[in-house]
Structure 1
Amino acid sequence: MKAEDIVVTAQGARFMGRVFPCSVGRGGIVAAADKREGDGATPEGEHRLIGMLYNPARMARPADWALPVSHADGWSDDSTDPAYNQMVRRPSGFGHERLWRADPLYDLIVLTDWNWPEGEPGRGSAIFVHTWRRPRFPTAGCVALARADLLWIAPRIKHQTRLIIRR
């Protein structure tokens, strides 16, 4: 592990010498081999950070490599979709999450390489790092932090930064 890695346990996230409270999936942290679509679990392991998305109506670009989302953007969570675990355009004939939301959860999203780029059906779609609903409130499998903490972390992420999830 390196200082630029984000290390997550059920107790919190450590990054660049600081510790941040965070939330993980309602199913807890599970072995990556046991992760399944819809289980609400966060898969342990070392995950590359592959992108950053943000809502331009609610914030300035958090990093020079972050991409804006629009009302038409979604993320496929339907294992029958040929674009499973990929960003998709809405409307879509398959199940997906809206990336432009009325609430602030996805105002800033850090994308990981969980089950990507070739999503294996049923292994679970995206594991994002995003803003939490409220302190320590469980997610559907993602890692969530306070908005202020995520905004502090985002511009400090480097190409080599990994999300390391441990039980």
Structure 2
Amino acid sequence: MKHVLTLFFCILVMFVKAQTIHSFNHYLQTSNQVLFVKTPAANSIKGKMFLYERKHNNKPWESVDSFPVTVGRSGLAKDVNAAISFNDTLPVKHEGDGKSPSGIFKLWKVFSYHKLENLKMPFVQVDSNFYCVDDVSSRYYNQLILSDTAAKDFNSFEHMKLPGNQYEYGVWVLYNSNPAVAGNGSCIFLHVWSDENTPTSGCTAMAKENMLKLIHWLDEKKKPVLLQVVEK
């Protein structure tokens, strides 16, 4: 009985540990800023983002902030090329599935309808001329393009300036990039939510005030990443 209890305790500790940032340290050796998103189940549309930072990879993680987020209308799906392991029942992410990707992803440019200064990340001010292409047959699949300079070989795309404020502030997530594989999913961003009960098409969204805090906190030199997982 003692051995059984010991085994049970070890399994329990491993399960609990797997829900913390520390269990992912092996995958975070080159990053000193992490946006850690957890959802309670694979089909949940709501989750929580925890911001962590450290001075360098030999120092402990420090909690910076946390706030609610919404994810894809169908929950999360695993990145087929992710380094981290997943529950075998978690589906694989693909184009048009309405799921946000689960895995670890580098972050690229901050974008906004407005000119922003004093950021520590690459920045692009977007307008109605900017598209993100989600047509799997296009050479520009999962790329940010200027519509007036690109050779139009696509029939499907996202406007980077919307009638609403969802893309007023955002961050490009490097999911299915370098290279982009047709059909694995595209145009994944962090952006402003419509409200706390409205899911996205596959992005991760948050309140505007939290988006603003986030983009001014991010530091390219700290190699920030998005770590997104199902909690159980």
TM normalised by structure 2 equals: 0.67
Supply the distance in 2 between the matched residues of 1:62 and 1:106 (Cα, whole angstroms).
19
1:97 aligns with 2:158: yes
| Fraction of identical pairs, as percent | 25
CA 1:61–1:93: 2 relative to 1, 3 Å: farther
Counterpart residue identity of residue 37, structure 2: V
Say if 1:62 and 1:154, in contact at 8 Å, map to a contact too: no
Say if 1:52 and 1:111, in contact at 8 Å, map to a contact too: yes
Structure possessing the higher radius of gyration over alpha carbons: 2
1:154 aligns with 2:215: yes
Report the structure, 1 or 2, having the larger helix content. Answer: 2
1:19 shift after superposition: 1.2
2:125 to 68, 74, 87: 68
- In the other structure, the counterpart of 2:226 is 163
Q: How does 1:83-94 map to 2 (within 5 A)?
A: 83-90=140-147, 92-94=152-154
Supply the distance in 2 between the matched residues of 1:104 and 1:61 (Cα, whole angstroms).
19
- In the other structure, the counterpart of 2:192 is 131
Counterpart residue identity of residue 161, structure 1: P
- In the other structure, the counterpart of 1:111 is 172
**Mind listing any 5+ residue stretches in structure 1 that lack a counterpart?**
none
**Mind listing any 5+ residue stretches in structure 2 that lack a counterpart?**
1-20, 22-30, 40-46, 53-62, 81-91
Say if 1:105 and 1:133, in contact at 8 Å, map to a contact too: yes
1:46 shift after superposition: 0.6
2:50 to 5, 8, 14: 14
Over the aligned positions, Cα root-mean-square deviation in angstroms equals 1.7
1:89 shift after superposition: 2.1
1:44 aligns with 2:93: no
CA 1:86–1:115: 2 relative to 1, 3 Å: same
Greater RCO between the two (CA within 8 Å, min separation 6)?
1
